[in-house]
Chains A and B, each alone.
Chain A
């Protein structure tokens, strides 16, 4: 384990469902991120939180809704998704936002999402 835990590991949901992805870090980091990873594409930054405050939203559709109740937890709420939203969703944390500081980003293992 890297210190960043994501649940569930796999999720299959219909287009009308509502589900949530959870991320938890015990590294004392101040920034947390959601990334989308599609096959053969670079990681796409979705959301950045610094000290529980959202500092970046990269034009993500409103069917993705993040929540950061405290500096250790991050959620991604999903509703009315499309099949093209199927991907690996990675959570990451870092000492500070931006380039992450000296140690960079620590990633979770991801949630493999399939929208049917």
Chain B
């Protein structure tokens, strides 16, 4: 069964600190992996997309990594800001199927 598991379920950090969110998947055959950011009361917005051959992809303070062998991805946030408070959703695509993780709820406190 194609699954996407994210951890932790929620995370609280202080402003300025770094954090890493995890995504493990069993989706096969793998096509690509996206990280979305969802602010409260808004729809998800794409942060990064990685295909099988890509190990890392950056978008400002966000850096995503992908290990296709172990089927793991991480999203690293550097020097967190209050505006980073949101849910982060990992989405893994097979060739004609998309699977969503339940998300990690990140709260950045001053």
Contact = CB atoms under 8 A, between A and B. Distances in A.
A112 interface: yes
Nearest to A100: B98
Interface residues of A, number: 22
A66 interface: no
Interface stretch (A13-21, A70-78, A79-87, A102-110): A102-110
Contacts of B9: 40
Interface of B is mostly: strand
B51 to A, nearest CB: 10
Contacts of B98: 45, 98-100, 105
A59 interface: no
B43 A109 contact: yes
A32 interface: no
A116 interface: no
Contacts of A103: 46
Contacts of A2: 43, 45
Interface of A is mostly: loop
Interface stretch (B58-66, B70-78, B89-97): B89-97
B96 to A, nearest CB: 4
Given A40-B102, A104-B34, A109 B93 contact: no
A42 interface: yes
Contacts of B89: 43
16 contacts: A40-B103, A42-B99, A42-B103, A92-B43, A98-B95, A98-B96, A98-B97, A99-B95, A99-B98, A100-B93, A104-B49, A104-B91, A107-B43, A107-B45, A108-B43, A110-B42
Interface of B: 4, 9, 31-32, 34, 41-46, 49, 89, 91, 93-103
Interface of A: 2, 4, 6, 9, 40-43, 45, 90, 92, 98-100, 103-105, 107-110, 112
- Nearest first, the 5 closest Cβ-Cβ pairs linking A and B are A107-B43, A99-B93, A42-B100, A43-B100, A98-B96
